[in-house]
Amino acid sequence: MITKHAGKASSNLFDISGLSKAAIRQIKGSYMNSVKYGLLRLAYEQFPDRKLFCPVPFTRMEIKRGGKTNLCGWLKKSPGNIHQGSLMRLWNSPAAQEIRGSILDGTFRYCDLTNCPYFASGKLHLQKDVVGDQYKEIIRDRRTKMDTMKLWLSFDHRCNIRCVSCRNSHAQISKEERTENQMIMESVKRDLAYITTLGTSGKGEPFVSPVIRDFLYNFDSSEYPNLKLFILTNSQLLTHECWKRMEKAHQAISSVQVSIDAATKKTYEMIRIGAVFEKLMENLNFLSKLRAQNAIDKLIISFVVNALNFSEMKQFVNMGFEFNCDYVYFAFMSNWGIFTNEEYRKMAVHRPEHKQYRELNEALADPLFHDPRIFIRTPYGFSRDHILKEQIFI
């Protein structure tokens, strides 16, 4: 309801004729957020039991290129840069605690409420209805200082393939950035005792990054029995030999998510330039055997939906079932700055104005997509039931 009225207000008060599209988006976004913050503050003064809760800034942090960090991709405020102090100092920095405080006071004032899929969905839990002892204690005690974290390593963008939804060229880094990446990894190692889940990699391929690959090859799970590893990979390099080299880490490897984006050789090699479909199948078969032996707790395959591949979604689900995957994950393609507006419009089949939007919805109407193993992240996030669960996807 708040979002609805905010939208009406913006359309009535703005005359944006003659401005560029980029300027219009910036003005609208800034204004819409201001309206929403104001409405939230007024609403919670009148109805304090209607405050919403988002768990993300209380549980995870991401280290990005250059040592920048965030507690969520939709936050406008950062805890700081890893070069400013230790990982735990950043995790509980004044900025990080201010962000968490803005969730607890109900204002969400550091969040991008216009673009955040969880807020836009209307599916965030009320604070009074939150389940789970961890979150209940946070809300009851108004806690903004956290003891442990889940950490995503996204600072090395290098990859062995080029995906049309991700990048338009191979990432190159300077000698200085290689040195910086080593420093970032050393900082992470110093605070491993406070990390419950370590995700590799949010950007790029972990087995291409020398520092992340070497960390995985040398990590000893017996030294950190409470730490779980989540590996996000395109699986072109995750071979039997690669797995053997991570032998000391095996007990810690909780989940492996393989990003694929297709169900046929033709589409796969068109979308994932430089990848080989037969190699993918071979390595997936190996991972499936590891899962059957309980050598890993979860095997996930993922698919970024666009106009080139949406017709293979059902076939992809069946592929996941054949490989005994725990989850099959779909997300709709975003524009990470690599497309022009016109290029993105042609690829974004999930947008109502796309000429194949109806076909996409007809495909998703298949009962197969109601299987509990299927997760579909729409522009409005996951369902309400999944928001408070362990985040297993990136």
Stretch among 1-10, 291-300, 378-387 having the lowest mean pLDDT? 1-10
**% of the chain residues with pLDDT over 70:** 85
Sign of dihedral through CA atoms 336, 337, 338, 339?
A: positive
pLDDT reading at 24 higher than 90: no
Token duo for residue 5: 């009225």
Given the candidates 3.20.20.70, 3.50.50.60, 3.60.21.10, 3.90.950.10, the CATH classification of the domain at 150-375 is 3.20.20.70
Give me the mean pLDDT over the 37-43 stretch: 71
Q: How confident is the model at residue 31 (pLDDT cuts 50, 70, 90)?
A: low
Any alpha helices (H) in the chain, and if so which ranges? Answer: 2-13, 21-46, 56-59, 87-91, 94-104, 117-121, 133-141, 175-190, 210-218, 240-245, 265-271, 277-292, 313-322, 341-347, 357-364, 384-387
pLDDT reading at 153 higher than 50: yes
pLDDT reading at 146 higher than 70: yes
Q: Where are the domains positioned within the chain?
A: 47-139, 150-375
Stretch among 2-11, 88-97, 146-155, 199-208 having the lowest mean pLDDT? 2-11
pLDDT reading at 340 higher than 50: yes
Give me the mean pLDDT over the 176-181 stretch: 95
Give me the mean pLDDT over the 142-158 stretch: 96
Highest mean pLDDT among 8-12, 171-175, 300-304, 330-334: 300-304
Helices and strands, counts by H and E, the chain = 16, 13
Q: How confident is the model at residue 52 (pLDDT cuts 50, 70, 90)?
A: very high
Give me the mean pLDDT over the 274-293 stretch: 98
What is the model's pTM? 0.86
Q: What mean pLDDT is reported for the chain? A: 87
